[in-house]
Amino acid sequence: MSEKSTKWKSLFAVCLVIFSVVTILFLPSNNPFNIGNTYTDSSVFTYVGRVMQQGGMPYLDTFDHKGPLLYLIEVLGLTIHREIGIWILEVLSLTIGLIYTYRCARLYGCERVSSCVAVFLTTLSLAAFFFDGGNIEEEYAFPLLMIALFCFLKYFLTDSITRMDLIVCGATFAAVCLIRVNMAGFWFVMCLGVIFDCIKRGMFAKGTANESHHAGKNDKGRDRSNSNNLAAMILYFLIGAVVISLPILLWLAGNHALSAFVEDYLRFNLAYTTGQSGIRIFQSMNGFLKDTPLLIGIPVMAWFCLRDRRLTDILCLICYPVSLLLLCLSGHYFHHYGLLICPLFAWTVARALSFIEQNRTVQKRKTANVLTLALAVCMLFNSTFLSIAGYIADPLRHVEKQPQVKTIVDEVNGHTLDGDKISVMGNCNSIYLLSGRSSASKYSYQDPIAAVDPEILKEYLRDLQTLDAKMIIVDNTCSFYDSIKDDVKKVTDSGYRLLDRVEQMEVYVRI
């Protein structure tokens, strides 16, 4: 290869890395040029973090049904910096995920340029299809999935795995379970793959030397080593899981929040995911199957399975439907759920690029380059990605420019003091965050959780009647409004006056 060709390849790789870096810097909606622009879910998580920062506990002092590790991440971000600390953690999270995307590609034998292409395409899959504003549970699970994928691939592709790798696998599994448990399907599939591989080695221990997984060992030694290795792997995996989960569970128990955690995180989420019909789940899955990473990833990996029948290819193909089913159990089609597919897409891209490099001909290389470019263009010009690019074009855009939110926040600040509490009916926690006020009720939002557990709505109404909220903001478009509007009217008529109507929101202030 000529020196000129090498320089051009290096320049190309640098350009891909720069593009990926710039993208992840501007990808979160609350980046430094867009401070305060938190989407619906993100604002809930940040609010819980703020309650904890002020001495409260999740599940006890404020309700949400995600795992405690997510809220600890929010607290850490708010501690780093009130406005951009969470963004810093988001960028760090995405950076770690993309670094391990690169390492996975290198593990497959990809050259540096091809590995940078894998990072570039993974970045596009994040930005163009699934990111949905950021500061969401899937975003923080992404690097954990990529780290675990690297450890598992290291085992399958190099036949070596250290104790620390196993501990890391267990730790990442526990961490994801403590963010949102239905994101952990990847570990179940991969662990079953490891167990199958160990059993297979034992079953074929008396075969020929070239059939053995560890050449150079006698059959008897290999049998004994396999069983010991499997037991040791399970042990170190469990150690990693305990190292992460035990301190968090002890922290919850020490603050009398363990039973509330079980109620809100486990029982509530079980009801949330099992109350949907098969049709709703299928409709949700169908929505994701239209996205390019799945349209490309599943057929490509299926082709590799049919061609080579490698265990790693089969496991990747199994992970696609398992992950898709778990993320669609709620029956909802939210784009950010699809972030769980990005590690599988990165895996598929690394496998495909490795195959191309190992089967090089001029014609094949040209065809692969054209297909890769076409895929990148399709993903690059996806409408969602173009909206992300708008952050660069309009760096001064701010959530407070949204007339509805800005007006309400100004009215809250003008009619309340710092210590006063308010209540926002519906789901708009950004009002709490931007005004600096706290919720009078444990339920800072009620939609859609009231549809899962009607007792939540009853308790919220009792809070409105008994707690001294300085202001009440009523969203008359929330899903349950018609069923409780008479009860709300009794509350507002008894001690409040209508201050303003801002589109679908009614703003009441205590007389």
pTM: 0.88
Q: Give residue for tokens 């040791």.
A: 232
Contact (CB, 8 A) for 461 and 487: yes
**CA-based torsion, 283, 284, 287, 289: positive or negative:** negative
**Cα separation of 491 and 485, whole Å?**
10
**Cα separation of 511 and 505, whole Å?**
19
Q: Which amino acid is at 263?
A: E
**Cα separation of 454 and 446, whole Å?**
10
Contact (CB, 8 A) for 420 and 437: yes
Give the 3-state DSSP-derived string for 211-245, with helices as H, strands as E and coil as C: HCCCCCCCHHHHHHHHHHHHHHHHHHHHHHHHHHH
Q: Which amino acid is at 460?
A: Y
**Cα separation of 182 and 326, whole Å?**
6
Give the 3-state DSSP-derived string for 68-122, with helices as H, strands as E and coil as C: HHHHHHHHHHHHHCCCCHHHHHHHHHHHHHHHHHHHHHHHCCCCHHHHHHHHHHH
**Cα separation of 181 and 329, whole Å?**
12
Which of 112, 108, 120 is CA-nearest to residue 21? 120
The Cα-based distances of 261 to 59, 249, 253, 266 in angstroms read 6, 9, 9, 7
Residue 449 is predicted with a pLDDT of 92
Which of 150, 108, 146 is CA-nearest to residue 126? 146
**Cα separation of 436 and 420, whole Å?**
10
Helices (H), 255-291: 258-261, 268-274, 278-289
DSSP classification of residue 67? -
Q: Give residue for tokens 């989960």.
A: 245
| b/e code 164-197 from CB counts within 10 Å (16+ = b) | ebbbbbbbbbbbbbbbbbbbbbbbebbbebbeeb
Residue 425's beta-bridge partner residues? 474
Residue 172 is predicted with a pLDDT of 98
Q: Give residue for tokens 């519906």.
A: 426
Helix (H) or strand (E) holding 265: none
Query: In the chain, what's the furthest Cα-to-Cα distance?
Result: 88
Residue 375 is predicted with a pLDDT of 61
Contact (CB, 8 A) for 78 and 62: no
Q: What are phi and psi of 474, to 5 degrees?
A: -110, 120
Which of 203, 266, 331, 200 is CA-nearest to residue 65? 266
Q: Which amino acid is at 222?
A: R
Contacts of residue 384, defined as CB under 8 A and 6 or more positions apart, other chains included, come to: 127, 128, 129, 131, 335
Q: Which amino acid is at 390?
A: G
> CA dihedral defined by 433, 436, 439, 443, rounded to 10 degrees?
20
**Cα separation of 491 and 247, whole Å?**
43
**Cα separation of 278 and 228, whole Å?**
42
pLDDT tens-digit profile, the chain (511 residues):
567 777 888 888 898 899 899 989 988 888 887 766 677 899 999 999 999 999 999 999 999 999 999 999 999 999 999 989 999 999 999 999 999 999 999 999 999 999 999 999 999 888 877 787 889 999 999 999 999 999 999 999 998 889 999 999 999 999 999 999 999 999 999 999 999 998 887 744 444 333 334 433 443 333 434 445 888 999 999 999 999 999 999 999 999 999 999 999 999 998 887 766 677 788 788 888 777 788 889 999 999 999 999 999 999 999 999 999 988 887 777 888 888 999 999 999 999 999 988 876 655 666 666 666 666 666 555 545 544 554 444 443 444 446 788 899 999 999 999 999 999 999 999 999 999 999 999 999 999 999 889 999 999 999 999 888 999 999 999 989 999 999 999 999 988 999 999 988 999 999 8
Q: What length is written for the chain?
A: 511
- DSSP letter for each residue of 431-482: HHHHHT-EESSS-S--TTHHHH-HHHHHHHHHHHHHS--SEEEEETTSTTHH
* Residues 160-164: contacts with CB under 8 Å, at least 24 apart: 161/233, 163/232, 163/236
Contact (CB, 8 A) for 106 and 118: no
**Cα separation of 148 and 157, whole Å?**
14
Contact (CB, 8 A) for 164 and 147: no
